[in-house]
């Protein structure tokens, strides 16, 4: 059984390494200001300055605002581009959200969890 020392979520400047909005288990901490998180059964070493850390298991969807060039991927002309998605706290699935729902049901794992609208990634 894995021992989790907390949970870490990446800052925007390391979003290419970790999925934005997803919380990853911290499996190791070092005195030099780094943590090691587990990503798909691989260990990734990151500076503490590049992550947000929490002790409690994530139980809310994280909200991520898309950046860069946005293009509709489905539908045709006149389709709305969804600029916000949420990340499931259990399976890390990314799901488009419209409006500001209080909770969302994950289409992948079926979990119905509240949405954390207080902070966006």
The predicted-structure confidence for 96-112, as pLDDT tens digits, reads as follows: 998 899 999 999 999 99
What's the confidence (pLDDT) of residue 81?
A: 61
102 in Cβ contact with 115 (< 8 Å) = yes
What's the confidence (pLDDT) of residue 19?
A: 83
Q: Read off the pLDDT of residues 1-32 as tens digits, 9 standing for 90 and up.
A: 567 899 999 887 666 678 888 999 999 999 99
Q: Read off the pLDDT of residues 78-88 as tens digits, 9 standing for 90 and up.
A: 455 667 899 99
d(CA 64, CA 49): 19
Q: Read off the pLDDT of residues 25-73 as tens digits, 9 standing for 90 and up.
A: 999 999 999 999 998 889 999 999 999 999 999 999 999 987 765 555 5
Q: Where are the domains of the chain?
A: 7-54, 61-120
């Amino acid at each position: 059984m894995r021992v989790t020392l907390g949970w870490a979520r990446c800052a925007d400047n390391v979003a290419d390494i970790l999925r934005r909005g997803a919380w990853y288990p911290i499996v190791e901490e070092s005195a030099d200001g780094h943590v090691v998180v587990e990503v798909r059964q691989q260990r990734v070493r990151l500076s503490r300055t590049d992550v947000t850390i929490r002790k409690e298991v994530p139980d809310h969807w994280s909200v991520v605002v898309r950046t860069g060039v946005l293009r509709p991927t489905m539908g045709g002309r006149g389709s709305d581009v969804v600029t916000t998605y949420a990340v499931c706290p259990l399976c890390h699935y990314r799901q488009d959200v419209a409006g500001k729902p209080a909770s969302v049901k994950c289409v992948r794992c079926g979990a119905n969890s509240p949405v954390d609208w207080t902070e966006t990634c």
